[in-house]
Structure 1
Amino acid sequence: MATYDLIVIGAGPGGYVCAIRAAQLGLKVGVAEGRATLGGTCLNVGCIPSKALLHATHELHEANHNFAKMGLMVQPPQVDWARMLSYKDEVIAGNTGGIEFLFKKNKIDWIKGFASIPSPGQVRVGDDVHEAKAIVIASGSQSSTLPGVTVDEEVIITSTGALTLGAIPKTLVVIGAGVIGLEMGSVYARLGAKVTVVEYLDQITPGMDGEVAKQFQRILQKQGLTFVLGTAVQGVERTATGAIVVHKSRKSEEEARIEADVVLVATGRKPYVDGLGLDALGIQMTQRGQIATDARFATNIPGVYAIGDVREGPMLAHKAEDEGMAMAEVLAGQHGHVNYAVIPSVIYTTPEVASVGLTEEQLKAEGRAYKVGKFPFMGNARAKAVFQADGFVKILADKATDRILGAHVIGPMAGDLIHEVAVAMEFGAAAEDLARTCHAHPTFSEAMREAALACGDGAIHA
């Protein structure tokens, strides 16, 4: 078998980016991947297909609710669910095929099959054992579930099953009010399903800035989603016509039941390390089932590293990509680095929700003096013109130095707008720096500048 400078296990965002960057830096690279296509969970059954369905159903919403307001007089559109799923599959194929092209372009070997690590410096795929100076585990994550809940991906489903349902359900219960649950709940609500979201905590989107979370919930409720908060799911019973979710209030201990055609279990994800042979290899794990690594991604076994969802930190594709690039640079003798304080997060509903840096709750817990600059999209001409004036921008800055500490956006194109603040934070910018930067008119980004102005003498259009 060939000897590689690097073998990456897993071709998701962390793995394929690590491989490409390492090849660009002159390393001989192989990638072990057992899926029939490259791209991992993100491109195949995660980020990309869900965004395709979010886009399609947003257009459906626009046609049903806003076209007539603009003088576009059309018959209400009919949903061809099979064709919508086909469109989603075409999006997947285009993206996964693109990764395969990049592997060929960068002379990266795709070692087809699921891998294990029989000993340091060796990767087994099928009957073949490949030698490698370095091994990077980038095997990603899988959906987690709850005690008393058996997933069948037909009626009781994870995010994977939510992308391939045979029919649009009339009723859907979503267990978990995090990113995945709210995105897929939003998709099916737009398609006409009655969606109920059940959450253990007393607010949606745990960890999000509290003010944003409250506004977000109000907007989603207007869009037809129902929320049952502060309740613990006891189990899900499969029935002849669907399923029943049994849950108990954390405060009153009162038990209740919700019937649904489909139940989506969206209670988070866990590292996927099955079959890698980590126990036999002696890899140290954390209490949360993650691979323990140091600041340079090294495990306790020399020559074996881990990046992405299998190690600590947020389970985000772009966090894995950053670690993949840094990992490749470390192996090439460079100084790879990830700034974990500036990793944006985005929810791709309408409106979008995005954040970077610290929340107001975190600043209060630290006892740090800060100031808040806010600006509503109701004051943004572009947002009003496209019927997306709900939401606001919120910038948090150090009270003494004016240095930007965090930003939180709920509104149109929030997932793109947040990067203006991310770049500013990377360079240690003050809110005034952002406020004094000319922004084109009319753009959504003007709301960012107005929020920055509000950290000083005040916004112009509020």
Structure 2
Amino acid sequence: MKYDIIVIGSGPGGYIAAIRASQLGKKVAIIEKYTTLGGTCLNVGCIPSKALLDSSHHYYDAVHHFEEHGISIQKPSFDFTKMVERKANVVETTTGGIKYLMDKNDITVFEGLGSFEDATHIKVSKKDGSSEIIEGTNIIIATGSKPSTLPFISIDKERIITSTEALKLPEVPKHLIVIGGGVIGLELGSVYSRLGAEVTVVEYMDKIVPGMDADVSKELQKVFKKQGITFATSHKVTSVKRDGNNVVVKATDKKDREIEFSGDYCLVAVGRKPYTEGLGLEKAGVKVTERGQIDVNDHLQTNIKNIYAIGDVVKGAMLAHKAEEEGVVVAEYLAGEKPHINYNLIPGIVYTWPEAAAVGKTEEELKEAKIEYKAGKFSMRALGRSRASGDTDGFVKVLADKNTDEILGVHMVGARVADLIMEAAVAMEFRASAEDLARICHGHPTYSEAVKEAAKAAWDGKPLNA
């Protein structure tokens, strides 16, 4: 069977690429080695983690905040098994939706491991041992990533675990040690901290979420400490050993002293790496970088002209929405259109509570690039909406060019900033100035007023409510 486009991998990048290609008149097939579509994001990543984050947030609010709202209930309790079941149901519904979309768009789905026979032929190896070969004029590789580890750590998937296992634990840990203070570690650490676990985050760098603006890192760490999470930054992990139901993590601090942490579970959240195992890239002649990423040009085209790659297997942020945009770009490019993607405006989000979100450049990046800028910052505590809801932690910071006033970066910590950040992304896509944003009428009372106020602070240094 011959197709215009074969997509290998059905995660956010892959299935979106397939849908867009089909919308543009292409005959499309998609290959997925698992029994459900959706990839890591929908099955063991974005969607299930948000389900547990929401469930645990409701419980935490019931325990800690209902009383101040005048809501009196008996001591709240939770059924962890039911929480996990709800998470599974959310995943099942979502992945089922992807199957519906494949059918709706006349996309042929092959279940099995896709691997190259040559540049245009893909072998689909099925679980029953059988296989078939399909042909594609163009191939899109969208196989995503898998959790990374450290060379000396042995992941047993029981007590020493990755994010995949952390989403389906049989119990709430007594003491969860999280290696890595990035997005995944903080989100899953928050889930179990809210449910009563002692949580210790061990981070090699001197701050958590090290890729984000320093003010965001500082604010998040302050808030999480208040919530009961312990942090050991500037700590280099040297050993992780399991002894029965106990895990001992050894690390050295910045003074080279050995520190020991002991818990019943250890989550290794030190990042992710491109997943290309079993693809047979060598048979097609596709080049891979020293970091294991598939090498692509500005059109996401590999060194083999009819083979493209998107998402976590190529350079750039490992984010579902980045993969989706790349999937659309490749599909449209193959249909003869002229799409574009602005990598500077891909938002980064941490779905803890409060949430954190950012788009554009950090202060550190602007200083390093020697770009003259001005900063405007506004505290969520000064908002009527924040006081009404009780979500007073956080801020919005707008960075603008000192000479032109063009917005260069926006950084947020607070309630619903995962959604709010898109206001900044839209403004920056149209190269708005801080004054432009400050002069837009924002509804009152809303969290979005913090964006207006921070923009005004950046523009003329005179926010109205501070």
Q: Compute the TM-score of the two structures, normalised by the length of structure 2.
A: 0.98
Contact 1:117–1:276, Cα closer than 8 Å, also in 2: yes
Cα drift, residue 196 of structure 1: 0.4
**Structure 2: how far apart are the matches of 1:389 and 1:128?**
58
2:238 aligned with 1:239, yes or no? no
2:25 aligned with 1:22, yes or no? no
| Secondary structure at the counterpart of residue 402 of structure 1 | coil
Q: Deviations over 1:404-426 (max 9, x none)?
A: 00000000111111000100010
2:63 aligned with 1:64, yes or no? yes
Q: Deviations over 1:2-26 (max 9, x none)?
A: 2100000000000000000000000
Structure 2, gaps ≥5 residues long: 126-130
**Structure 2: how far apart are the matches of 1:351 and 1:279?**
46
Q: Deviations over 1:358-381 (max 9, x none)?
A: 000111111111111111001111
Provide the residue aligned with 2:174 in structure 1: 170
Q: Deviations over 1:34-58 (max 9, x none)?
A: 1111110000000000000000111
Tell me which moved more, 449-458 or 42-51: 449-458
Q: Deviations over 1:237-288 (max 9, x none)?
A: 1111221111122x32221211110000000000000000013332111121
Provide the residue aligned with 1:259 in structure 2: 262
Match of 1:375 among 375, 378, 385: 378
| Secondary structure at the counterpart of residue 455 of structure 1 | helix
Provide the residue aligned with 2:89 in structure 1: 90
Cα drift, residue 125 of structure 1: 0.0
Partner amino acid for 1:218? K
Q: Deviations over 1:335-373 (max 9, x none)?
A: 121110100010000000000000001111111111111
Q: What is the correspondence of 1:67-216 to structure 2 with a 5 Å cutoff?
A: 67-126=66-125, 127-216=131-220
| Secondary structure at the counterpart of residue 341 of structure 1 | helix
Partner amino acid for 1:141? S
Provide the residue aligned with 1:394 in structure 2: 397
**Structure 2: how far apart are the matches of 1:181 and 1:164?**
15
Provide the residue aligned with 1:304 in structure 2: 307
Cα drift, residue 386 of structure 1: 1.0
Q: What is the correspondence of 1:275-354 to structure 2 with a 5 Å cutoff?
A: 275-354=278-357
**Structure 1: how far apart are the matches of 2:15 and 2:132?**
21
Q: Deviations over 1:110-129 (max 9, x none)?
A: 11111001101111102211
Provide the residue aligned with 1:225 in structure 2: 229
**Structure 2: how far apart are the matches of 1:337 and 1:292?**
19
2:284 aligned with 1:268, yes or no? no
| Secondary structure at the counterpart of residue 132 of structure 1 | strand
Q: Deviations over 1:124-182 (max 9, x none)?
A: 10221101000000000000000211111110000000001111111010000000000
Aligned-residue identity in percent: 52
**Structure 1: how far apart are the matches of 2:286 and 2:439?**
51
Cα drift, residue 384 of structure 1: 1.0
Provide the residue aligned with 1:406 in structure 2: 409
Provide the residue aligned with 1:13 in structure 2: 12
Aligned residues: 460
Contact 1:172–1:195, Cα closer than 8 Å, also in 2: yes
Contact 1:141–1:272, Cα closer than 8 Å, also in 2: yes
Partner amino acid for 1:192? G
Provide the residue aligned with 2:360 in structure 1: 357
Contact 1:439–1:446, Cα closer than 8 Å, also in 2: yes
Partner amino acid for 1:24? Q
**Structure 1: how far apart are the matches of 2:190 and 2:166?**
12
Provide the residue aligned with 1:53 in structure 2: 52
**Structure 1: how far apart are the matches of 2:459 and 2:278?**
55
Moved beyond 2 Å, runs of 4+? 279-282
| Secondary structure at the counterpart of residue 396 of structure 1 | strand
Q: Compute the TM-score of the two structures, normalised by the length of structure 1.
A: 0.99
Tell me which moved more, 395-404 or 68-77: 68-77
Contact 1:19–1:328, Cα closer than 8 Å, also in 2: yes
Partner amino acid for 1:382? R
Contact 2:442–2:448, Cα closer than 8 Å, also in 1: yes
**Structure 1: how far apart are the matches of 2:290 and 2:33?**
27
Contact 1:120–1:302, Cα closer than 8 Å, also in 2: no
Contact 1:147–1:235, Cα closer than 8 Å, also in 2: no
Partner amino acid for 1:184? L
